[in-house]
Structure 1
Amino acid sequence: MSKTHAKSTAQESLLIEKVVEHDSVSFSKLYDQYLPLICKVWYQFHLTELPLEDWKQEAAVVLYRTSCSYYNHCQSVRFCWYLRQALLNKIRDLYRQQVAKKRIPVENVEPITDLHIDQRLVDAHFRPDDASEFRYIYRQFLQSCSLLERDAFTMINSGHCPEEIAHRLSCSPLSIRSAFERARQKFLRYLYE
């Protein structure tokens, strides 16, 4: 092993140790060091339903968990190989989840605009405080969504088709459908929690 390689391995081990100790600066350095690998895995699989920014967030969690696991158990192999396998496992899991999800045909989706919300509340004979609570939950839900999820959810519920939204937001219709489905699931969780 060359001196340069040994030095870089020692620096990486020190970074990993600090990451395990919850040092955010070390985590940022390690993340930046492996960002090319993170992007490469995404480009290899290129799940159209998973935007690169969402994948980077998922990969950051994988990086942290992998660092902890590696530090505690697996220092016999190189960290980059260990991380690469963990990233591949995660993206395969995400792919399986997306394939397994049942999609709702757009023509079966009913809009949920403010007008529809008010109408449903009146039809259900909600009291004013119930309507106010529902609006609060709806605002919380919108704040929990990513920008793409919020846009897809509100625009589809306003009657726009995924293709039109995709063209407007410069992404694929499949990304819009996926973002809408994620937002719909979040909305249901907020309603029934």
Structure 2
Amino acid sequence: MLVCTGAVAKSKKGDDNVEQEQLELIVRARYDSDALVILFEQYHGLVNKIIRRFYLAGMSREDWTAEAMQVMHQTCFKFDGTHGSQFGSYYRMILNKHYLSMMRDARAKKREGQMRTLPFGDAQDEMNLGKGINEMGYSFDEYVHSRILIPIFLKQLSAKELGAVRDWVAGTEEHGRSNARARERVRAKWAKFMADEG
């Protein structure tokens, strides 16, 4: 029995040395890129296992690995091993959360277009500088063509006219005479621009 207890005690002391060395490596990895690479190599299998569960279009395996390295660096600053917690478990949790956040962000960006769109009928009043497509006699194809030409058109406007367009888009139009004249000049230039393009 005593031998068994001694073996357990000896093994525990050896584990303490490993844990102490691991903690020192984690602390060094905060400011030493070589130590970070050594630490990352120790957890490379864990990283590969986690990476297999995620996919984003445009993200290569190297991109996922680079993200994992950045997360490890951040985790080294956050980790406090004085209370017996394990770095590997903590890193796995943080890395999973980071990858899940990346997935949520990507999905949110996909839905962004859906949230910003309006049914075509509702959008008619917002097109062609305040006049509906039907009122102007534009077809849908002409509308799409005009959307492509808008950046070209905006380069031709004066600062005052650009301000009037910006106020109109933001819904903060001022009702002074100079702004009214600027809006009318923009409408006239737009009609001429579209006639020249047609």
Normalised to the residue count of structure 1, the TM-score between the two structures is 0.48
The structure number with the bigger radius of gyration is 2
More RCO (CA 8 Å, sep 6+)? 1
Normalised to the residue count of structure 2, the TM-score between the two structures is 0.47
